[in-house]
Amino acid sequence: MRYNNIRYSVVILFCLLFSDGFAQELIANVYGRNVQSLNGKWDAIIDQYDQGRKNKIYLNKKPEGKTDFYEYSFDHGLRLNVPSDWNSQSPELHRYEGTVWYARRFDAKKEAGKRLFLYFGAVSYRSRVYLNGKEIGKHEGGFTPFQIEITDQVQNTNNFLAVEVNNTRTVDAIPAMAFDWWNYGGITRDVFLVSTPKVFIEDYFVQLDKRKADKIDARIKLSENAANVNIRIQIPELNVDQDLTTDNKGFAKVSFNVKKLQRWSPDSPKLYKVIISSKDDKVEEMIGFRNLYTKGEDIYLNDKPVFLKAISFHEEIPQRKGRAFSEADAVMLLSEAKALGCNMIRLAHYPQNEYTVRLAEKMGFMLWEEIPIWQGIDFENEATKQKAGNMIREMVMRDKNRCALSFWGVANETQPSEPRNNFLKYLIETCKAVDTTRLMTAAFDLVRFNKEKQLFVMDDPFIQELDVVAINKYMGWYHQWPLAPEKAKWEVAKGKPLIISEFGGEALYGQLGNEDVVSSWSEDYQATLYRDNLKMFRNIPNLRGTAPWILFDFRSPFRFHPTNQDGWNRKGLISDQGFKKKAWYLMRDYYKNIK
């Protein structure tokens, strides 16, 4: 146990040392704090040749004398919505990869004894932040939040905020050079000015014990190393009122028993108001409590085996060809998942916005969340490894109080090697340094058919590092059937729960064709493919969940067919216009019959 504590401390230290720039520890539950929104229209400059930093356009200088002039201006030019991607807002930015500068002015109410932070829900992919002509922070990673304290730099009025945003793909990035979804750029999530007391409740983790149904564990951390500070935890509906005191590092923890606790589940997604307060600060949040663990080949939720009726979707609204970023967007995506009969969602292939995560919890979806370790990652690059560690830690820190979060995913479709194994083990350790209560998983595409044994098998010893093994296998699409689907038997990850995390094939909505011809791109063939896969699933003894790929057709530069794809991956059960394909009804009926 002592070794593990030391190892996890080292992991956290590495994450802090190698994080890119000035971004600081995340404030837990920003949406429950005193915030001023900085969303809206921002001025913008397209900087295709990366000349903005060289010319210091973040100073926003104006001509004063007769001989002054500047070859840039934020005024009277391009205006972009924040939050949103830039690709969907202007035809000339539709396929743009490069740098765009964002800028706006804001007032800030400075108060004695108060601190101010700039909080970005996500910026895709790299960002540098400038306030009143000075660089104050930078961040890399397009799907996780970051914050920068500006207490000493901010003015009461007329602050000029500039953000340099770059979404250029590089070999050392995460994801790397090629990935099967659109490379949206921009300030894609909320921007807030957060006000806190001088010493505030920076972080907390309140959860049900992994196996005990009546024991709650709580950890609280102050923003300073302040000892002997009284902290109060209240859960009014459960008659909980606990007092605890911080140590000399500003930490406090407590465990306590509760009576008549209703555990969260997809059928009954119960949440409780939790209030954490100190003399100077108070935070409220709705939190659910549930037990989650594996035993043998089963996944147990609240001490009962559960089958995961799952679906994946991208953070994209296909009808407007843009990133999903609002609560209304979350309602659209999650409502379609609910109509399909799902109890779990794989948030592919990156942490999605908090509106989606929080609403999914309220609606009763278990969640699988991952960072985009999607093929092509440079596993031998130490800087990339540290970067990935920082991203996955930001994901876990943001969502650790969401009881719906059931799985942390560390990889998708990676090839076995010693560097890969070390890289992924590091990510698992980074997760566990913050949270040991979730199940660790990864998706593999390495299952093959063994002709001698007449079995589907997989050889990758790394699965022993995981709680649940997930398999992507596109039988009938990328792989032809070696025998009749009803005779296809599996012997994969024996002794562990297994999820089919991706399967399916492409179909253009409304296209009819031969139900046995792959190249028809028809709904008829896609339906045949689904029927065949559902037959095969009966012969996977440790199957504990399925997740078709994918809910909606989505945009992808990977897809070149001029008539059937036209820049879209057509594997969706629902078309880019929102129409359900024939395979949707097959999956709906399949899930309806699983109790």
Given a cut of 90, is residue 20 above it in pLDDT? no
Q: Residues 542, 422: one domain?
A: yes
Which band of pLDDT confidence, cut at 50, 70 and 90, is reported for residue 24?
low
For 440-468, give the DSSP string.
EEEEE---EEETTTTEEE---GGGGG-SE
Final residue belonging to a domain, choices 196, 224, 240: 196
CATH no. for residue 310?
3.20.20.80
Asked if 205 and 338 sit in the same domain, the reply is: no
Count how many Cα atoms sit within 13 Å of the Cα of residue 145 in the half-sphere of its side chain. Answer: 26
Other CB atoms closer than 10 Å to residue 294's CB: what's the count?
16
Domain that holds residue 584: 294-592
Q: Are residues 305 and 443 in the same domain?
A: yes
337 pLDDT band, cuts 50/70/90, is very high
- Dihedral of CA atoms 89, 92, 98, 99 in degrees, nearest 10, equals -60
The values of phi and psi at residue 14, to 5°, are: -60, -40
The last residue of one of the domains, among 196, 216, 231, is 196
Residue 183 buriedness (CB in 10 A; 0-12 / 13-18 / 19+): buried
Question: Which stretch of DSSP H or E encloses residue 591?
Answer: helix 582-592
- What CATH number should be reported for the domain holding residue 215? 2.60.40.10
Do residue 253 and residue 365 come from a single domain?
Answer: no
Asked if residue 181 and residue 59 are part of one domain, the reply reads yes
- What is the SS3 assignment for 247? coil
Interstrand relation of 215-222 and 230-235 (parallel, antiparallel or unpaired): unpaired
- Rounded Cα distance, 479 and 550, in Å: 18
Q: Do 238 and 370 reside in the same domain of the chain?
A: no
Q: Over 60: is that where the pLDDT of 8 sits?
A: no
Report the side by side order of strands in the sheet with 215-222. 201-208, 215-222, 251-257
Q: Helices in 183-326 by DSSP H: which ranges? A: none
Burial group, residue 322, by CB count within 10 angstroms (0-12, 13-18, 19+): buried
CB atoms within 10 A of CB 56: 13
User: Is the per-residue pLDDT at 202 higher than 80?
Assistant: yes
Q: Give the C-alpha separation, 574 to 507, whole Å.
A: 10
Asked which of 232, 266, 291 is the last residue of a domain, the reply is 291
Q: Are residues 300 and 286 in the same domain?
A: no
- Please give the average per-residue pLDDT across 455-462, as a whole number: 95
Helix runs in 317-415, H state only: 327-340, 354-363, 382-399
pLDDT of residue 9: 44
Angle (CA) 69-71-72 rounded to 5° is: 110
Instruction: Give mean pLDDT, residues 8-34.
Output: 62
Alpha-carbon 468 to chain mean position:
19
Q: What is the pLDDT of residue 5?
A: 43
**Closest among 172, 165, 168, 156 to 189, alpha carbons compared:** 165
Number of Cβ within 10 Å of residue 593's Cβ equals 8
What is residue 11's predicted lDDT score, i.e. its pLDDT? 42
Whether the per-residue pLDDT at 384 is higher than 70: the answer is yes
Give CA–CA dist 20/450, Å, rounded: 46
68 and 207 share one domain: no
CA distance 103 to 466: 44
Give the span between the Cα atoms of 84 and 98, in whole angstroms: 16
Instruction: Read off the DSSP letter of residue 32.
Output: G
Give every CB contact of residue 316 below 8 A, 6+ residues apart in sequence: 181, 182, 322, 323, 324, 552, 554, 555
For 75-90, give one letter per residue: b (16+ CB within 10 A) or e: eeebebbbbbbbbbbe
Mean confidence (pLDDT) of the chain: 95
Residue 3: per-residue pLDDT: 39
pLDDT, average across residues 554-565: 94
Same domain (yes/no): 276, 299: no
- Taking only the tens place, the pLDDT of each residue in 520-530 is 999 999 999 99
pLDDT digit string, tens, across residues 259-285: 999 999 999 999 999 999 999 999 999
Question: Does one domain contain both 73 and 216?
Answer: no
Q: Do 339 and 281 share a structural domain? A: no
The DSSP bridge pattern shows strands 40-47 and 134-140 to be unpaired
Q: For the residues 418-434, what does the mean pLDDT come to?
A: 97
The total domain count for the chain is: 3
CA atoms within 13 A on the CB side of 366: 27
Cα 548 from Cα 474, distance rounded (Å): 10
What per-residue string of b and e applies to 534-570 under the rule 16 or more CB within 10 Å gives b? bebeeebebbbbbbbbbbbbbbbeebeeeebbeebbb
- Percent residues over pLDDT 90 in the chain: 95
Residues 220 and 87 in one domain: no
Task: List, for residues 66-114, the tens digit of each pLDDT value.
Answer: 999 999 999 999 999 999 999 999 999 999 999 999 999 999 989 999 9
| Distance set, CA 366 to CA 28, 514, 542 (Å) | 21, 37, 20
pLDDT for res 538: 96
Give the per-residue pLDDT at 23: 52
Among residues of the chain, what percentage have pLDDT more than 70?
96
How would residue 25 be classed by pLDDT, with cut points 50, 70 and 90?
confident
**Both tokens of residue 34?**
């005193």
110-169 tens-digit pLDDT: 999 999 999 999 999 999 999 999 999 999 999 999 999 999 999 999 999 999 999 999
Helix, strand, coil % in the chain, rounded to nearest 5: 20, 30, 45
- The CATH number of residue 131's host domain is 2.60.120.260
Provide the pLDDT for residue 595: 82
Asked whether residue 10 carries a pLDDT value surpassing 70, the answer given is no
Residue 258 has pLDDT above 60, yes or no: yes
